[in-house]
Amino acid sequence: MITLEDLHAMADESKEIWSLPAMSTKQYSDWVEGKIITEGDERLVENVLGLVGEAGEVAEKVKKMIRDGTKVVPMDIIKEIGDVVFYCTALANHVGYGLDTVVDINVVKLNGRAERGTIKGSGDER
């Protein structure tokens, strides 16, 4: 688990530091709902496009590191991952499940794959 000290250590040159109280996945899901602007099918499209766009920003930082030899600032990646989590949560909420359910299902799925020795490979049902 990342501590407040870890966040301080990862802060970028602008010395951005956060000190928020711990938030459960349920509280975060509720908080995300308060930030949603679009509705219905438009929300679905916006959430999906937001998710892939933000994931692309994470990839872009790594690409520039490889291509240009630039230093990757961990906090820059953490900020983009936060945006990915936001859109994942918004999408999960939209289809009727909270982030807590997504996390639980993912743990069960990956534990099952580990037990079957199928972490490597391809296909949803392995």
Q: pLDDT of 23-36, one tens digit each?
A: 899 999 999 999 99
Specify the CATH number of the domain 23-116: 1.10.287.1080
Tally helices (H) and strands (E) across the chain.
5, 0
* Tokens of residue 35, six digits: 């930030």
Rounded Cα gap, residues 69 and 6, in angstroms: 25
Compute the C-alpha angle 44/47/49, nearest 5°.
105
What's the rounded mean pLDDT across residues 107-126? 86
Rounded Cα gap, residues 85 and 115, in angstroms: 27
The model's confidence at residue 1, banded by pLDDT at 50, 70 and 90, is: very low
Contact between 82 and 88 (Cβ < 8 Å)? no
Q: pLDDT of 35-70, one tens digit each?
A: 999 998 999 999 999 999 999 999 999 999 899 988
- pLDDT reported for residue 16: 58
